[in-house]
Amino acid sequence: MDSDAPALGTLAADLVAALTAALPTEWRIQPAEEGMTESLATVLLYEQGDIVTSINGGPVPPGHVGVEFTLTIAAPELEPVKGIVTATDAVIPLLVALDGLDSVYWDSATKGIFATGETIYRLEVVSLSRFTNRTTNPEPDTMPDTMPEEA
């Protein structure tokens, strides 16, 4: 697992920045909390979820946690036949982008349809994040300072 994993406080922003750099520029990438609006482009919705201590059944390394994200690709077409083609074509660059991120893990993409008619693929991913334990009372320095030798 990657010891260069992003810090917990910047994880969502780091993931969005990495995906924005790797995905087609015409895609709209937005928080899921903003909701789906009509679009002429493919939309990638992201939502941060739970903090977990395991990835793919194994524990995360010390000083790390996993943060779950739901990534949803929505095709702009409301017609199902066109929508499935667009959504399927769009999921490939997302999977390539995710596989290029050392600290992001996923195992399936589930096809569905929004209530508004857009065909989607939904992925549950876990991003490995590091954190540090801050101590309020660091151990005192018990070693005396060395004195320079006199000339």
pLDDT tens for residues 78-111? Answer: 888 999 999 999 999 999 999 999 889 998 999 9
Identify whether the C-beta of residue 84 lies closer than 8 Å to the C-beta of residue 69. no
Asked if residue 122 has pLDDT above 80, the reply is: yes
How much is the pTM? 0.78
Q: Residue 89 has which token pair?
A: 């074509």
What's the chain's average pLDDT?
84
- Residue 30: phi, psi to the nearest 5? -150, 155
Q: How far apart (Å, rounded) are the C-alpha atoms in residues 52 and 68?
A: 7
